Amino acid sequence: MYSVLLVEDEDIIRKGIKHSVPWEEHNCIVIGEARNGIEGKDLIQKLNPNIVITDINMPVMDGLQMIAETKCQNDYVAIILTGYSDFEYAKEAIKNGVSDYILKPLNMEEIAETLERAALECKNISVLRKQNESVGELKNISLFCNTELKEASDDPVVEQILKIIAENYSKKITLTDLSDILHYSDRYINQKFQKALGTTVIEYLNRYRIQKALSFLQEDQIPISDIGWECGIGDYKYFNHVFKKYIGCSPKEYKIKIR
């Protein structure tokens, strides 16, 4: 079971999500509730949930600040609740550690789809960590399944997405960017990609960037502090967090181990 924390200042919305979503069907369970970012931060540190669903605008501390102050120390899948007025803001937040978003007014089908993607991300990360722990030669770590990639190439839309990521991974890439290029909705793109590869576009993009980071660390031509930028992840603090999420150690520790 994947543990879920709900952070929402409006009781009716928070209780509505808690009691309306069939959590067990998605292998999830709600372990806590909070009414603002401060309460949410305390519960994240205390309960260490797998998934955090949070509103953006809340009293005392907003959801994005709560995520910024906890995600590097507590590894969880962050999902934000947002209204249409904050939609662009929400999409921008995705590149800062937010995995997904749910639009208000809430739609139970959309919540279920988002939760399914979050549970899948939790599962994928767990599998990757176990695989990496069993790899005798650290230089052979792979974050992809070649069989899946080969099968995905049969879908022209997915093949285009893979090509865009391969050619632009060092730049900012969002679902909106892909939507503008491919002329499909971001939800359709994500669903198409997930069906073919068993993971979301953002999750695949993170894996691709970390795979590149592994190559850079092995080549030893770029300072560790710059690799995050070269891979499109950003500053070292966030790069360190994402790298550790997939590899199980920091970039510096990995570099020492492969010497």
What confidence tier does 181 reach under pLDDT thresholds 50, 70, 90? Answer: very high
Residues 67 and 160 in one domain: no
Residues 191 and 218 in one domain: yes
Tell me, yes or no, whether 253 lies in a domain. Answer: yes
Q: Is the pLDDT of residue 108 over 50?
A: yes
Instruction: Please give the share of the chain, as a percent, with pLDDT higher than 70.
Output: 86
Give how many domains the chain has, as a whole number.
Answer: 2
What confidence tier does 74 reach under pLDDT thresholds 50, 70, 90? Answer: confident
Question: What is the rounded distance in angstroms from the CA atom of residue 193 to the CA atom of residue 149?
Answer: 11
Tell me, yes or no, whether 129 lies in a domain. Answer: no
Q: Residue holding tokens 């550790």?
A: 244
Alpha helix ranges (H) inside the chain: 11-20, 37-47, 63-70, 87-93, 108-134, 146-152, 156-168, 175-182, 186-197, 201-219, 224-230, 236-247, 251-258
Tell me, yes or no, whether 53 lies in a domain. Answer: yes
Residues 114 and 144 in one domain: no
Query: What are the DSSP calls for 187-209, one per residue?
Result: HHHHHHHHHHHSS-HHHHHHHHH
What confidence tier does 147 reach under pLDDT thresholds 50, 70, 90? Answer: very low
pLDDT in tens, 8-21: 999 999 999 999 89
Residues 113 and 195 in one domain: no
What confidence tier does 92 reach under pLDDT thresholds 50, 70, 90? Answer: low
Residues 126 and 104 sit within 8 Å (Cβ to Cβ): no
Last residue of a domain, one of 106, 124, 142: 124
Specify the range with the lowest mean pLDDT, choosing from 73-87, 169-183, 184-198, 207-221. Answer: 73-87
Q: pTM of the prediction?
A: 0.61
Residues 46 and 145 in one domain: no
- The closest of 51, 191, 174, 186 to 113, measured between CA atoms, is 191
Beta strand 28-34 pairing with 2-7: parallel
Residues 36 and 97 in one domain: yes
Residues 168 and 188 in one domain: yes
Q: Is the pLDDT of residue 180 over 80?
A: yes
- Domain extent for 84: 2-124
Question: What is the rounded distance in angstroms from the CA atom of residue 61 to the CA atom of residue 121?
Answer: 27
Q: State the pLDDT at residue 245.
A: 82
Q: State the pLDDT at residue 194.
A: 83
Q: Which CATH number is 119's domain given?
A: 3.40.50.2300
Residues 6 and 120 in one domain: yes
Residues 60 and 101 in one domain: yes
Last residue of a domain, one of 124, 143, 172: 124
Residues 114 and 170 in one domain: no
Question: What is the rounded distance in angstroms from the CA atom of residue 182 to the CA atom of residue 191?
Answer: 14
Q: Which CATH number is 249's domain given?
A: 1.10.10.60
Residues 118 and 179 in one domain: no
- Between 169 and 135, the higher pLDDT residue: 169
Last residue of a domain, one of 97, 124, 151: 124
The stretch 96-117 carries a mean pLDDT of 82
Tell me, yes or no, whether 6 lies in a domain. Answer: yes
Q: Is the pLDDT of residue 102 over 80?
A: yes
Helices (runs of H) and strands (runs of E) counted in the chain: 13, 5
Tell me, yes or no, whether 37 lies in a domain. Answer: yes
pLDDT in tens, 24-50: 988 899 999 999 999 999 999 999 999
Residues 157 and 87 in one domain: no
